[in-house]
Amino acid sequence: MTPTACAKEMQPFAGALHTAPDGKRGYLYMGFELDRDGKSILRELERRTPIIVQQELYFDEAMPEMPCVYILSSGGPNVDGDRYEQHFVVRRDAFAHVSTGAATKLAEMRRNYSGMVQRFDLEAGAYLEYLPEPVIPCRHTRYHVDTAIRIDPTATLCYAEIYSSGRRYFGEGERFRYDILSVATHAARPDGTPLFREKFIVRPERHSPERLGAMNGYDLFANAVVLTPPDHAECIYGRTEAFIDRERRLAAGITRLPNDCGLIYKVLGNDTGAVKRLVREFCSTVRQCVKGKPLPEEFPWR
């Protein structure tokens, strides 16, 4: 049984489907490793519709040996009963940058929910940046994500996720009109030693996220997890500013994760572009501390 099926908070929404009998069942496996010349390549790829993977590109001038891969979907927005699985493996000393081609849109759901199970496996010396586009829920969305990470003490993972409050410009707006958003992230060493676990469950009808101490007027929430050796973590921490900018309607904070495994960086904002830029700047800091090179400028159409 997958974690999306086991999550207690999703059981009230696991009723009969009014869409296709089983919903969409997307699956993705990507395995990166070094070739004989020290170039990182996408050696293994397995996918199932509606997930599409573009051929790896090598456009990063600072790291021309790094494959950049974009994940697409031909299935439209997530609907009732959709279940997705993604598994990323980065072999010894390999590295990669992975993103999505567009935001993940969550359609209205009445009798079930949509779920995503993700797994990251990073071997010794591996390095992975996973920076997907934002998740946008509409009214009555039910969405659950379970992310499991297994990482060697010498590897680095920079994983960021951005969640919108809803379709702000649709009709009268749909800020926090979804039913439930459940997001869990947990990590362990290859031998099973646990590192950390974070989970947040948002049910706007029960407890409004707009209150003080939560979103408090902000529309977007970004969560960036960096698992990396302690010396890299201290470098990143020292270069990252925590602030509240009331004029720009932006706020950011950073803290250390337990067991000396890394850092977690959070951003609140009202403008998608501004939040994405902060997350990208943070991930660029991660790359500078780990690889000695910054991220390239984002494409202007992104």
pLDDT at 75: 84
At 217, the pLDDT band (50, 70, 90 cuts) reads confident
Helix (H) or strand (E) holding 4: helix 3-6
Tell me the mean pLDDT in the region 128-142. Answer: 96
Count of domains observed in the chain: 1
300 assigned to some structural domain: no
Contact status, residue 255 vs residue 264, Cβ threshold 8 Å: yes
198 pLDDT above the threshold of 60: yes
Contact status, residue 225 vs residue 131, Cβ threshold 8 Å: no
139 pLDDT above the threshold of 50: yes
pLDDT at 17: 53
17 assigned to some structural domain: no
170 pLDDT above the threshold of 60: yes
Strands (DSSP E) contained in the chain are: 25-34, 40-48, 51-53, 68-73, 83-90, 95-100, 104-106, 114-122, 127-130, 135-137, 142-151, 156-164, 180-188, 194-202, 220-227, 243-245, 250-256, 262-269
Contact status, residue 264 vs residue 223, Cβ threshold 8 Å: yes
Q: Which range of residues forms the domain containing residue 176?
A: 46-291
108 assigned to some structural domain: yes
Contact status, residue 209 vs residue 165, Cβ threshold 8 Å: yes
Residue type, position 283, single letter = C
pLDDT at 111: 85
User: For residues 176 and 211, which has the higher predicted lDDT (pLDDT)?
Assistant: 176
User: For residues 207 and 254, which has the higher predicted lDDT (pLDDT)?
Assistant: 254
295 pLDDT above the threshold of 50: yes
pLDDT at 5: 54
223 assigned to some structural domain: yes
- The pTM of this model reads 0.94
1 pLDDT above the threshold of 90: no
38 assigned to some structural domain: no
Alpha-carbon separation of residue 92 from 31, 121, 151, 266 (angstroms): 11, 11, 11, 29
Tell me the mean pLDDT in the region 146-175. Answer: 91
pLDDT in tens, 57-108: 999 999 999 999 999 999 889 998 999 999 999 999 999 999 999 999 999 9
Average pLDDT of the residues of the chain:
92
Provide the token pair at 248: 């720009």
153 assigned to some structural domain: yes
Q: Maximum distance among all alpha carbons in the chain?
A: 57
pLDDT in tens, 100-113: 999 999 999 988 99
pLDDT at 213: 81
157 assigned to some structural domain: yes
pLDDT at 48: 95
269 assigned to some structural domain: yes
Of the listed ranges 116-125, 128-137, 208-217, the one predicted with least confidence: 208-217
Contact status, residue 226 vs residue 265, Cβ threshold 8 Å: yes
Percent of the chain with pLDDT over 90: 81
Beta-carbon-side half-sphere exposure of residue 43 (alpha carbons within 13 Å): 14
Kindly calculate the radius of gyration of the chain based on its CA atoms and give it in whole angstroms: 19
pLDDT at 195: 98
pLDDT at 297: 85
Q: Assign residue 216 a region: left if phi > 0, alpha if psi is -120 to 50, beta otherwise?
A: left
pLDDT at 63: 94
CA 221 to mean position of chain CA atoms: 12
Residue 211 gets which letter from DSSP?
Answer: S
